[in-house]
Structure 1
């Protein structure tokens, strides 16, 4: 079955080949839910990107299914190379290596599948203030809010019966903590705002969920999402506005979603606030807040007061029998800049992607942004990292043209670094960076790579094949690695498997076979 599926792909590659081609290479990482595809025909005298391989997703899914049936795992990375003669070679590996061609380049392996990078929010100082919610005031505001909505619509809105005390107790048992008193009081008036499949969208255009839905969604959302090492190694969870009110996490067991935008976003009450927050405060979380939640109000009581005031002041829209309070505009993430450093740097800036620099970049103006967490210098270079001493940058991508890494010595916040250089550099200062867990040196010329073995908690490392060889030959691969990348886009899967084996991953289950169209496979 595997050979038949591979031959069908080779037949289509040969049939669609451009004139003058000498070989074609197709790469794929396939899972049960889909497949990625990269590849090209090689024609002497022309660039390979001008000759992409055809879309063969149905055939690749069939091949991946045959490989799984033959004993493969959930994910299969494969590579097929063929020539005009009909000769071809298939290399496939299950659950050990991922191709990153077309999105970063090279190959990635996971050495410790159970390890997850820590999120800063779980180490933040906890808030000690009392809850701001008031159940009696919340009930009074909610009833006044309903009355005002009824006056606007010319009729009262139907709501479901209240949740029983027993149902509320059972929900709290399953959640593992009590509901805020004001939210519990509202469930004693109505079990959400939906009757059948119709919601009233009472809370700023979001549907107030029934108690059973709250419990179900909480179980699904209580853990932080994991986006694979490809994305996670240099990711940042940003702070809220106001700062230090909500923990810097993707998810938390003490966040209880109670209203939904029906788009993967939620309003939630936060029962474990950061230092300057209050238990029961309302936050936004979910699909569009995967780089950090957003602060909404110090309590549901306050949010109801805000919505009531908006209706009283005429700040609402009425559409198709629904009333939507008009809230101030909001961002789905932190204040960030994409482009170049502006003449006036916003003090609240947390992320900047410098994409338009053509000459040396002076980072000193960024000192005006004392909360800067992410700095990616994607074009141009800098000669001086000194401004970073005073900034809480966690994710840094930079190219050094002169200068050195001494300004990063002892940096308490830096957790990921992607470094490029125009001259050999000493990475010894990185020994003193206590939270450095992700490092990409594939764009750098490093004087002594063996320093990497001394980094206290390095979990992700990206190097070129030449760099990996030098490091492994010295027996100095960092012992703490949970994931690694071979950052050579031209490397073959066979070469990547040999590299994986050298850094400690068992690749003995890889499948290899050759064949020629019209003959039996070898």
Structure 2
């Protein structure tokens, strides 16, 4: 009974433990302007004014720790391999973090001492990238404003300096995207695996907004604590997304140029994508065979199709396509995928394939999801791509939303055709 149960479970074979999904942030250009927006003198003035305002509101002043020494600053920068922006560096010349303040200086986020900046536990990211969570189905989205922050979950140039105690940090971005500036403030962490959030162009601006909020009276007093209502962005609106039936372009507010994630059902015509030019994660479901021609003009990186029949000619014209999952009733031809330069993940377990030998020609493929019969057929062909992971289902899986599989993960080669 145990053997039979084991044979009927989907197995994920991790062949290369060192492989990680490509980081789109690595492919982006650096900033057009390398001049930071922060001002160290103004940042220090704002910090003192901010503390005066808080003391006036609270009726007492909390004491800051001693300043960090120049030697400590230099040592941290050498350890990180990145220089701190001048405004944050100047603040450490006032205090080495905010110690045990009841009201952390950075809007309920603890300002870290230098000793903790270079010694952070990133288990949250290791967990998020575990193969059982299927990172090949996940896209890192662009922040707002567009192209200011690189599309990565975490980078060496993101220096985290404040912590919310829940697995998220404020960071100064010393490795910005083409439209960003060094020293801009972003949010990263466990709640931002799908993409960081742009907060402000500098620590100076961040402090200025906190000061302005206190001066406007935009705060709430809770016993000894102060909750400041700033206009800083957070999780809401991190990236636009749409879910439901195909939207009518005439209905204002349901679609727009910053919609990056789309999940639609009952698709007959993909023309609605004209209202969503920046979509990069797309799931289409249809009882028929919709015309996929509009997909060729979109920067879709993850495409999930659940249709009666699928013609991959149009999707294959999209040079950004990285990961494809196909569920269909009629045989699909993979031949168009030969020309897709960045395709590294392919899920065909829920699709009959007319030309399965084409898989051997997809040289960039690193992840493949198939049925046991499909894997047996491919194994007999030989000359497969240098696969890092292979997911094998005992039989064709039923695809439901969300299309996630409870894998039995094993760090080994997939079984031979006779297994």
Superposition TM-score, scaled by structure 2 size: 0.88
Given that residues 102 and 224 in structure 2 are in contact (C-alpha distance below 8 angstroms), is that contact kept between their aligned partners in structure 1? Answer: no
Q: Give SS of 1:364's match.
A: helix
1:343-383 CA-to-partner distances (Å, cap 9, x unmatched) read: 342321111223xx3x4432211221111110112564542
Structure 1's consecutive aligned runs of 4 or more residues displaced over 4 angstroms after TM superposition are 218-225, 378-382, 496-499
Say how many residue pairs are matched.
401
1:116-160 CA-to-partner distances (Å, cap 9, x unmatched) read: 121110110101311001100111111111111111111212211
Q: Which residue of 1 aligns with 2:118?
A: 215
Q: Which residue of 1 aligns with 2:299?
A: 392
Question: Residue 342 of structure 1: CA displacement?
Answer: 3.0
Cα 1:376/1:182, change in 2 over 3 Å: same
Q: Please point out which of 247, 252, 260 is paired with 1:350.
A: 260
Q: Please point out which of 334, 338, 353 is paired with 2:243.
A: 338
Superposition TM-score, scaled by structure 1 size: 0.71
Q: Distance in 2 between matches of 1:480 and 1:211?
A: 43
1:119-518 aligned within 5 A: 119-129=23-33, 130-195=35-100, 198-217=101-120, 226-228=129-131, 230-328=133-231, 330-331=234-235, 333-343=238-248, 344-354=254-264, 357=265, 359-378=266-285, 380=287, 382-402=289-309, 404-476=311-383, 478-488=384-394, 500-502=414-416
Bigger Rg, structure 1 or 2:
1
Q: Give SS of 2:139's match.
A: coil
Cα 1:184/1:481, change in 2 over 3 Å: same
Identify the range of structure 1 (205-214 vs 381-390) with the bigger mean alpha-carbon deviation.
381-390
1:157-213 CA-to-partner distances (Å, cap 9, x unmatched) read: 221111111111111111112111000100111111123xx4422212211111111
**Structure 2: runs of 5 or more not aligned:** 249-253, 398-406
RCO greater where, 1 or 2, for CA within 8 Å and sep 6 or more? 2
Q: Distance in 2 between matches of 1:141 and 1:312?
A: 12
Question: Residue 215 of structure 1: CA displacement?
Answer: 1.8
1:10-49 aligned within 5 A: 25=2
Cα 1:416/1:309, change in 2 over 3 Å: same
Q: Distance in 2 between matches of 1:497 and 1:324?
A: 48
Question: Residue 445 of structure 1: CA displacement?
Answer: 1.6
Given that residues 381 and 398 in structure 1 are in contact (C-alpha distance below 8 angstroms), is that contact kept between their aligned partners in structure 2? Answer: no
Cα 1:391/1:261, change in 2 over 3 Å: same
Q: Supply the RMSD in Å over aligned alpha carbons.
A: 2.9
